[in-house]
Amino acid sequence: MRKLELEFADALTVVGVHAGKFTTERVTGQIARALERLGITHPVVNDRQFRTWRRYAVQAWPTLVFVSPGGHYLGTYAGEAPYEGLRRAVADLIADGERRGDLVRRASLGTDRPPHDAALRFPGGLACDATGHLAVADAGHHRVLLGRLDAAATTFTVEEVVGSGAEGHADGAFAEAALAQPRGLAFEGRSLYVADAANQRILAADLEAKVVRTIAGTGERLWGGTRQPVPARGADLASPWGLARIGRQLFVAMAGSHQIWKLDLAVETLAPFAGSGAESLEDGILGGATLAQPSGLAPLGQRLYFADAESSAIRWADLATGFGERAVHTVVGTGLFDFGDRDGTGEEVRLQHPTDVAAWDGRLVVADTYNHRLKLVEPDARRVTTLTTAAPLGGLNEPEAVLVTGDMFLVADTNNHRLVAASLRGDGCDESSLHEVTVRLPPM
């Protein structure tokens, strides 16, 4: 839509109609934050009671409805479509409007967003290495911050900034590189891998040479897919989100294609690992199971746990079985439209759009994003308890990433534009230790 708005700026008016599935998605304030995070400037209607949805007989997300300048219905397209097809359709409709004489060219509707001068803007990814280096995906500023967290996790001192801060795509020196809404991060020695989500690319940042290069992705969105390894640089991707490195394999949560992919770092080839590409919640063999917007990844033993956001589930893929064996299993979560905020065991548990998961002492700490909470999951018992709501700090707001280092957790409190930390002990969190982490940027 952004490309269409730019190309046809004086002839196309876009009005978003947001009919939210999740409860949190229906809150106007949360929608406003999402628009800011995604850089959306066209008007958006909060269709929380699905009135506009029903008026236009919409059946699926997303659906495009085309309306003439005179308000007449011209057609509907349900589902995601390649850009070139949409471009041709819009160009034809504009030409029809000009022939009829009812199309008036003028600047499109839109709102300029005020500048955001805080140290972080919608942080959305965290990673640390064995030497104490911390990386934070500062998604709203289109950059990654590198530095060190002090022993008490009170101060994050930034030593390097990866990215100029200008949204776009450009390899090169840290200060010149351009990123777009980076998310997942993973260290390997003196390299940092970055899921550059809005650019549909995977980047490698060399921490010694201080340069960034693209190792996977063409910049085009994936339509369809392949089951065979392909050269990573020539592969189209679909919203790469979470990353997890195991040896020389980099696992990628491909949220847009509802799959997990595996990037062989030694030869830089990429292939699907789990998920058929269909969106639902069905366990089974690696290639036949269905996922729903997998986001965060956490290796634990021979299991790769993942937050399956759209099904509000925590699931795992067996790293030791073959592609044709039953290897995808669900810990908690029962379906695309089963969500809520309920602790418990097994199928009685309800989460709401969790986006990240981290391993801790054989258990999992989950960013239960739309419930604004952290949850503790015991995988074998399938037991879930609320770890913390961060109430002493005024509450979390859609936390998107969580990191466990030692007996301390760090969470990207995304919509509050901050990092929050606390101590973990026994069966939960020491809430008295909850605190906001000060971010110290290097002199400009």
Cis peptide before 62 (omega within 30 of 0): yes
Between 408 and 253, the more confident residue is 253
Residue 170 CA to residue 214 CA, distance in Å, equals: 9
Predicted pLDDT of residue 157 = 97
Strand partners, 75: 66
Predicted pLDDT of residue 325 = 66
**Mean pLDDT, residues 45-50 taken together:** 93
DSSP states of 39-73 as a string? T--S-EEE-TT-HHHHHTT--SSSEEEEE-TTS-E
pLDDT confidence tier of residue 103, bands split at 50, 70 and 90: confident
Beta strands across the sheet bearing 201-206? 172-173, 211-216, 201-206, 191-196, 182-188
The domains of the chain, with CATH numbers, are 2-100 (3.40.30.10), 123-440 (2.120.10.30)
Predicted pLDDT of residue 3 = 86
pLDDT confidence tier of residue 234, bands split at 50, 70 and 90: very high
Predicted pLDDT of residue 228 = 77
Between 376 and 323, the more confident residue is 376
Predicted pLDDT of residue 110 = 60
**Percentage, residues of the chain above pLDDT 70:** 95
**Mean pLDDT, residues 247-268 taken together:** 96
Predicted pLDDT of residue 106 = 80
Residue 364 CA to residue 361 CA, distance in Å, equals: 8
Predicted pLDDT of residue 215 = 98
**Mean pLDDT, residues 158-182 taken together:** 97
Predicted pLDDT of residue 196 = 98
Using left for φ > 0, alpha for ψ between -120 and 50, and beta otherwise, residue 132 falls in left
Which segments within 68-128 are labelled E, that is strand?
Answer: 73-78, 123-128
pLDDT confidence tier of residue 225, bands split at 50, 70 and 90: low
Within 10 Å of residue 2's Cβ, how many Cβ atoms?
13
Distances (CA, A) of 266 to 92, 178, 254: 47, 25, 20
Residue 107 CA to residue 368 CA, distance in Å, equals: 40
Main-chain phi, psi angles of 123, to 5 degrees: -60, 140
For 19, residues 6+ apart whose C-beta sits below 8 A from its C-beta are 47, 48, 50, 52, 53, 58, 61
Predicted pLDDT of residue 426 = 76
What are 342-374's pLDDT values in tens digits?
A: 999 999 999 999 999 999 999 999 999 999 999
SS3 393: helix
Give me the residue label for tokens 């500062």: 138
**Percentage, residues of the chain above pLDDT 90:** 72
What are 269-306's pLDDT values in tens digits?
A: 999 999 999 999 999 999 899 999 999 999 999 999 99
